[in-house]
Structure 1
Amino acid sequence: KKDMIKTGGENVPSVKVERVIMAHPAVAGVTVIGLPHPHWTEAVTAFVILKPESNADEDELIRLCKTELGGYEVPKRVVFVDSIATTATGKFLKTTLREQYVNLYEGNE
């Protein structure tokens, strides 16, 4: 039950999307969350940390997801960040990201 994103009436396990993105050679870290969206309830959104000297853009990572995942599981956005806050045990703090990016899809229909 934990870490399910409800998007357009479907449930997406965030770990499934994270696994696909993590397989990209340029990706050092990723976490996937659902953010409020006016049309989809929640939009699948990936936050990615790239390895130093590595390049990947949003289109490339979304294309990768489209080859491995169902359409509703593919992130609507990929946001590149330098770091993601973690818990004492090294887990990404998804609640912090949700608060920071709560308005990312505002005005998107």
Structure 2
Amino acid sequence: MINTGGVNVSSREVEEVIYQINGVSEVAVIGIADAYWIEAVTAVIVCKEAAVITKEEVLAFCKERLSAFKVPKYVYFIDTLPKNPSGKVLKRSLRKQFGAMQEN
């Protein structure tokens, strides 16, 4: 659960919308600490091989299907999501990695 602007957002709900985008292989939606929003909804996406997806496409797709406060504030593309030995996505690692990027 992500607390953005005092409203709870289910990361799974946002992930399910992003999975509908053609070319998305995997996605993790996390909350990153933000001075204004408390937590900023952030999407970390792995594209399918040879697929080209832009941040603008992701945001436009989400704006059509989600309430404004659920649309990601940040979108990042990476090669692979960090996972534990059983295959669960390590969202804590993603928050640490991309939260540090927002501090700079």
TM exceeding 0.5: yes
User: Aligned letter for 1:38?
Assistant: A
User: Aligned letter for 1:79?
Assistant: Y
Separation (CA, whole Å) in 1 of partners of 2:103 and 2:3: 17
After TM superposition, list the pairs within 5 Å mapping 1:40-55 onto structure 2: 40-55=37-52
Pick one of 86, 90, 94 that aligns with 2:91.
94
What is the aligned residue count? 104
Q: How far does the alpha carbon of each residue in 1:10-29 deviate from its partner, in whole angstroms, 9 at most, with x for none?
A: 10000000000011111000
Task: Return structure 1 stretches of 4+ with deviation > 4 angstroms.
Answer: none
After TM superposition, list the pairs within 5 Å mapping 1:19-30 onto structure 2: 19-30=16-27
Separation (CA, whole Å) in 2 of partners of 1:29 and 1:100: 17
Match of 2:69 in 1: 72
SS in 2 for 1:104: helix
Matched, 1:59 2:60: no
Which structure's residues are more often helix, by fraction?
Answer: 2
Q: How far does the alpha carbon of each residue in 1:66-94 deviate from its partner, in whole angstroms, 9 at most, with x for none?
A: 11110000000110001111122211100
Q: Per-residue deviation at 1:104?
A: 3.3
SS in 1 for 2:30: strand
Cα contact 1:38–1:105 (8 A) shared by 2: no
SS in 1 for 2:102: coil
Q: Which runs of 5+ in 2 are unaligned?
A: none
Percent identity over paired residues: 40
